[in-house]
Every structure is written in C-alpha cells, then in structure tokens.
C-alpha cells in the first residue's frame, strides 16, 4: 500500500484513509493511530514514521512506528503507537498487554528472525543464537483502545501483523530503500 501511495504521490496515511471509506473499523483505527502518533507533525532529526493497518481474528489494529537508521544500516525503533478495535472489551489492561507483547514478538521477527541451516539441521537452538528484542532495545509503546459495540474479536495475535510493515515503511521514509524480505538486512541499508 505504501508503494501505491508513493506512486500516487500521496501521503501514506491519507492514501490508506481514502481506500477505507467503506470500512469503518479499519478507518477508525487508522485515523486514531495517526492522531495519537501525531502523523504529519515534525519528528526529531533523523527519525521517520511508517504506518500500517491489519485485521485478524475479528480485531482491527493500526500501528505507527518511529524509526531511525544508523550509518551502519541498523534500524532503531524509538516509538510504536497502536490503535485497536477488538469489539466490546472486558479487561482493557489485558488488551494493552497483549498488543505490547505482539509488538515485541513482531519486532523480534522483523529485526532478528533469521533461521539458518547446516547439514540439513537448524543452527539456532535457543536465545543465545536466535535473538529476541532485549529490554534495552524496546521502543516506547502506546496502545489506544477504541470503544466499540461490535462482537468481541481475538487479541493475542492482532498486534503482530502491522508492526513489520510499519517499520519497513518508516525505513523507506528514512532511506528511500524498499525492503521486501525479513528479517531486515542492515547491510542493505548501510550508507556508502
């Protein structure tokens, strides 16, 4: 969708918004996340935003990632803002925790989730050689739950699908380079 927005010479948020006129729940989370993230407002020098929206398990989630890319090509995710419409809610704190955990899981996969094989066997055996996001790498995360009278949806996984696209869309905004495979290859983003 971001590539189509660029081809249409439109803002990625506005382009998505225009496509969702007949999809109120998608549009609701998209507009909420853009507002809460300050879409269109200035960021610190070298920090860029990317946006994505997805639906899974009957829930709708939009996320904005604020990312910088170092001269070595390594991306740093500074902040993630999420908006979720999972229908009627019973315990908002559980929803927040599930979305936060899904973001950690998705970021770990996007940044580090490489599996390699040697001699027909997986080389990674545990977290010592299959890294996950560490506390020191964790971005600030904000979760905003939209009020809804819709039937309750799932909440364990829906925060995962939009995080990698939001991050790589921010990387494109920062570098002009499109990444089409995961995990993110920092060598492809190195400044010459």
pLDDT tens digit sequence for 25-71 = 999 999 999 999 999 999 999 999 999 999 999 999 999 999 999 99
Q: Output DSSP code: residue 30.
A: H
Closest CA to 63 of 136, 142, 172, 137: 142
Contact 86, 148 (CB under 8 A): yes
pLDDT tens digit sequence for 144-166 = 999 999 999 999 899 999 999 99
pTM for this entry: 0.94
Contact 103, 162 (CB under 8 A): no
What sign for the dihedral angle of Cα 138, 186, 6, 40? Answer: positive
């Amino acid at each position: 969708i971001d590539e189509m927005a660029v081809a249409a010479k439109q803002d990625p948020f506005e382009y998505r918004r225009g496509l969702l006129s007949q999809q109120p729940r998608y549009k609701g989370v998209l507009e909420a996340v853009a507002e809460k993230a300050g879409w269109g407002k200035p960021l610190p020098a070298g920090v860029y935003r990317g946006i994505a929206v997805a639906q899974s398990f009957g829930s709708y989630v939009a996320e904005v990632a604020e990312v910088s890319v170092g001269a070595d090509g390594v991306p740093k995710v500074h902040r993630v803002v999420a908006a979720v419409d999972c229908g009627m809610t019973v315990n908002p704190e559980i929803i927040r925790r599930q979305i936060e955990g899904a973001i950690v899981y998705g970021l770990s996969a996007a940044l580090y989730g490489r599996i390699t094989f040697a001699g027909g066997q997986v080389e990674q055996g545990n977290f010592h050689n299959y890294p996950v996001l560490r506390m020191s790498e964790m971005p600030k995360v904000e979760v905003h739950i939209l009020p809804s009278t819709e039937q309750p949806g799932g909440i364990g996984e829906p925060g995962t699908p939009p995080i990698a696209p939001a991050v790589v869309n921010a990387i494109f905004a920062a570098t002009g380079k499109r990444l089409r495979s995961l995990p993110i290859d920092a060598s492809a983003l190195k400044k010459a």
